[in-house]
Amino acid sequence: MQYVERVLEQLKEKNPNEPEFHQAATEILNGLRPVIARHPEYERTALLERFVEPERVILFRVPWVDDGGNVHVNKGYRVQFNSAIGPYKGGLRFHPSVNLSIIKFLGLEQILKNSLTGLPIGGGKGGSDFDPKGKSDGEVMRFCQSFMTELCRHIGQDTDVPAGDIGVGGREIGYLFGQYKRIMNEHVGVLTGRGLSYGGSLARTEATGYGLVYMVEEALGCRGDGFAGKRVIVSGSGNVAIYAVEKAQALGAKVVAMYDSNGYVYDKDGIRLDVVKQIKEVERGRIREYAERVKGAEYHEGCKGIWSIPCDIALPCATQNEIDGGSAQLLVKNGVKYVGEGANMPTTLEGISVFQQAGVVFLPAKAANAGGVATSALEMAQSSSRLFWTFEEVDAKLKNIMVNIYHNMDAAAREYGVEGDYVAGANIAGFLKVAEAMMAHGIV
Ligand code: NDP
Ligand code: 2IT
């Protein structure tokens, strides 16, 4: 049996009931076939077997007390996946769906994404099945304090540097940081996405969404095109989605739809982002309220219908597997030309193949959403030098990184005989550096 098949088979056997992890590993290892063919030493040193096995998995109890005095217990996770090229780096997700499979798929993706940024960061991910939705600030604070009371012994500015992800934004990072500082007695860059008053970086809030649009802009530009006048759909209405809309609109696109987990809004006149920000960032409300406030806008229950709206560019920015094969076919039928993944693994394997077969320019998550973690690494650089850069400086570095990632994955795809296949190109370009470092370190 071929090496890639054997590793995937063993992975499924050893890690049953982890469908998201299987999916991410399948996508990655399939993309790496041309690399494996050129490097027989990888099989001899069981490089892929080591690559898909986390260096460390930490599972812990998170007890906390709600406002009514009731005691709750959640699960806490930190998967320290790969530290070959730098300290573990990756977000924390607080969402009721969180389980080991989801954290492992995110961690595996993160290794290659972080490598693609060109900055010295390894891969990790963590989180909890805690749901911040509907909780008071006090409840969220007590949960974060309990979570960090255990996590603090496993992380550090040179060991593992968490950040935000779904359900973890500025508020949560503040509470987590406060508890870390209190227990460890050190004010260091152990988390990124920090507030500007305590060591955060300008443009980190905007970075993932802006970075996504910078990459799509580069892909458009290389084909003699641009965002101006394009119809765009952005799924989600959280951090990544909001700043993707902001930058796409600034470049002249018309964003016509967004959603949250209850349903989507369609605004034929173009989404009014000030209204979305007020609902989501200030009031922590639901997207349905948009249609109550903006004349001519429609609200539809359920998420899937968003993909039936005709568009030129689709930017899935909510969660994994939000575009399945059927939704991809609908998008293609309605004329989509570019798909840029803001969320992690938002397209199923079937969906990816539908897009690629139809000639859609498909920009995979680990490349297209790398702007967030890249700017986190810029935050780490600023913290350790005790110097802070202007918004314009950080934004210019971010743009440069996104353009470089685009060209690196494009070049890797060409070099390995899969021109235009950016899924393979991103996997290859990200993997080569990690593999080289792992080979240099011996069997560890
Ligand atoms: P937020 O929590 O800010 O927003 C998440 C958005 O996605 C919300 O609108 C949420 O709706 C929606 N959503 C979540 N789960 C589902 C679901 N099961 N079905 C439909 N909608 C859902 O998170 P982020 O914007 O930070 O993250 C979004 C995606 O981007 C994730 O995949 C994350 O991993 C990825 N990402 C984030 C980065 C960052 O810097 N923040 C960096 C790179 C990738 P609701 O409010 O109803 O739950
Ligand atoms: O998926 C991701 O890249 C993130 N959630 C951001 C991670 C980070 O460390 O900034």
Q: What is the model's pLDDT at position 199? A: 97
- 439 lies in a domain? no
- Tell me: the pLDDT tens digits for 69-86? 999 999 999 999 999 999
For ligand 2, atom 9, which residue shows the shortest CA distance?
Answer: 90
Beta-strand runs (E) in 364-442: none
Counting ligands in written order, the one closest to the CA of 284 is: 1
Q: What is the model's pLDDT at position 252? A: 98
Q: Are 170 and 264 in the same domain?
A: no
The total of other beta-carbon atoms located within 10 Å of residue 95's CB is 19
- Tell me: the pLDDT tens digits for 266-295? 999 999 999 999 999 999 999 999 999 999
Please tell me the distance from the alpha carbon of residue 148 to that of residue 146, in angstroms, as a whole number. Answer: 5
CA angle 156, 157, 162 (to 5 degrees): 75
Counting ligands in written order, the one closest to the CA of 345 is: 1
Ligand 1 and 261: CB distance under 6 A? yes
Check: pTM over 0.85? Answer yes or no: yes
Q: Are 31 and 171 in the same domain?
A: yes
CA angle 113, 203, 226 (to 5 degrees): 70
Buried b (16+ CB within 10 A) or exposed e, 56-79: ebbebebebeeeeeeeeebebbbb
pLDDT of 1 higher than 80: no
Separation of 369 CA from ligand 2 center, angstroms?
A: 9
As a whole-number percent, the residues of the chain with pLDDT over 90 amount to 100
> Could you list the residue range(s) of the whole structural domain that residue 247 is in?
205-363
- 79 lies in a domain? yes
Ligand 2 and 376: CB distance under 6 A? yes
> What 3-state class would DSSP assign to 114?
helix
Residue 106 CA: nearest ligand 2 atom is 1
Please tell me the distance from the alpha carbon of residue 404 to that of residue 401, in angstroms, as a whole number. Answer: 5
Of 337, 363, 389, the residue that ends a domain is 363
Q: Are 163 and 239 in the same domain?
A: no
- Tell me: the pLDDT tens digits for 328-356? 999 999 999 999 999 999 999 999 999 99
- 316 lies in a domain? yes
Separation of 162 CA from ligand 2 center, angstroms?
A: 8
Q: What does the chain come to in residues?
A: 444
Q: What is the model's pLDDT at position 221? A: 98
pLDDT of 247 higher than 80: yes
Q: What is the model's pLDDT at position 186? A: 97
Residue 113 CA: nearest ligand 1 atom is 43
| Residue 268 backbone phi and psi in degrees, to 5 | -65, -20
Per-residue pLDDT band at 103 (split at 50, 70, 90): very high
Average pLDDT over residues 319-333: 98
Residue 34: give its domain's CATH number. Answer: 3.40.50.10860
Residue 225: give its domain's CATH number. Answer: 3.40.50.720
Tell me the C-alpha to C-alpha distance, in Å, between residue 411 and each of 213, 337, 404, 417: 20, 21, 10, 10
For ligand 2, atom 10, which residue shows the shortest CA distance?
Answer: 373
- 430 lies in a domain? no
- 435 lies in a domain? no
The residue type at 309: I
Would you give the DSSP letter of residue 323?
B
Of 153, 188, 223, the residue that ends a domain is 188
Please tell me the distance from the alpha carbon of residue 108 to that of residue 123, in angstroms, as a whole number. Answer: 7
Q: Are 175 and 284 in the same domain?
A: no
Residue 240 CA: nearest ligand 1 atom is 25
Separation of 295 CA from ligand 2 center, angstroms?
A: 36
For ligand 1, atom 21, which residue shows the shortest CA distance?
Answer: 261
DSSP run (H or E) holding 45 = none
- Tell me: the pLDDT tens digits for 164-202? 999 999 999 999 999 999 999 999 999 999 999 999 999
Please tell me the distance from the alpha carbon of residue 82 to that of residue 121, in angstroms, as a whole number. Answer: 9
The mean pLDDT of the chain is 98
- 374 lies in a domain? no
Separation of 111 CA from ligand 1 center, angstroms?
A: 20
Kindly name the residue from 125, 247, 280, 366 that is annotated as catalytic. 125
- 275 lies in a domain? yes
SS (H, E, C) 128-189: ECCCCCCCCHHHHHHHHHHHHHHHCCCCECCCEEEECECCECHHHHHHHHHHHHHHHCCCCC
Please tell me the distance from the alpha carbon of residue 97 to that of residue 79, in angstroms, as a whole number. Answer: 16
Of 130, 158, 188, the residue that ends a domain is 188
- 225 lies in a domain? yes
The total of other beta-carbon atoms located within 10 Å of residue 419's CB is 13
CB 71 within 8 A of CB 63: yes
Q: Using CA atoms in the order 250, 269, 318, 217, what is the torsion angle rounded to 10 degrees?
A: -30
Q: Are 166 and 221 in the same domain?
A: no
Q: Are 217 and 359 in the same domain?
A: yes
Separation of 177 CA from ligand 1 center, angstroms?
A: 21
104 is catalytic: no
Q: Are 164 and 225 in the same domain?
A: no
Ligand 1 and 165: CB distance under 6 A? yes
Average pLDDT over residues 8-24: 98
As a whole-number percent, the residues of the chain with pLDDT over 70 amount to 100
Q: Are 129 and 265 in the same domain?
A: no
Q: Are 172 and 40 in the same domain?
A: yes
Q: Which of 106, 212, 239, 369 to mutate to test the pocket of ligand 2 (most atoms within 8 A of CB)?
A: 369
How many domains does the structure of the chain reveal?
A: 2
For ligand 1, atom 17, which residue shows the shortest CA distance?
Answer: 261
Q: Are 247 and 283 in the same domain?
A: yes
Q: Which of 94, 239, 341 to mutate to test the pocket of ligand 1 (most atoms within 8 A of CB)?
A: 239
Q: Are 125 and 218 in the same domain?
A: no
The residue type at 194: R
pLDDT of 408 higher than 90: yes
Please tell me the distance from the alpha carbon of residue 346 to that of residue 336, in angstroms, as a whole number. Answer: 16
| Tokens describing residue 221 | 């530009």
Q: Are 167 and 238 in the same domain?
A: no
